[in-house]
Homo-oligomer: A and B are copies of this chain.
Amino acid sequence: MIKIEAIIRHFKLEDVKNALTQQGVAGMTITEVRGFGRQKGHTETYRGTEYAVDFVPKVKLEVAVGEEKLQSVVDTIIRTAQTGQIGDGKIFVSDLRDTIRIRTGETGNDAL
């Protein structure tokens, strides 16, 4: 089981969510975050406003999936979140030891 975290642009969230849902991803969690990548110090534009400061608002999307979906989920996020401009975001992949569904107590892949 793995966790895929993607930091993306707000206006891409709807597209990413729909594409992931269509390919069978059964759940996700989003958090409002702020961040910067390699162009820190440089300005980036967010909803028409220039940010002189280096923290730019982004959305963090977290998806827990079975190992076999890793590549397709990453590919879908790249394809749908990409604009080609700096600041498109990052994807972080890490291992999950277990998942539990609170309502039923199910664990492992059954809980995804």
> In the bound complex, how far is the Cα of B33 from the Cα of A92, in angstroms?
18
A26 at the interface (CB under 8 A from B): yes
> Across the interface, do B3 and A31 meet the contact criterion of CB distance under 8 Å?
no
Copies assembled? 3
Identify which of B21, B36, B100 contacts A27 (C-beta below 8 A).
B36
Which positions 75-104 of chain A face chain B at CB distance < 8 Å?
77-78, 81-103
What is the number of residues of chain A that contact chain B, defined by CB distance less than 8 Å? 54
Question: Which residue of chain B has its CB nearest to the CB of A31?
Answer: B33
Beyond A97-B2, A100-B78, is A29–B40 a contact (Cβ under 8 Å)? no
Question: Which residue of chain B has its CB nearest to the CB of A97?
Answer: B93
- CB-based closest 3 A-B pairs: A29-B35, A88-B103, A91-B100
A residues contacting B by CB (< 8 A) are 2-3, 6-8, 17, 21, 26-38, 40, 54-55, 58, 60, 64, 74, 77-78, 81-103, 105, 111
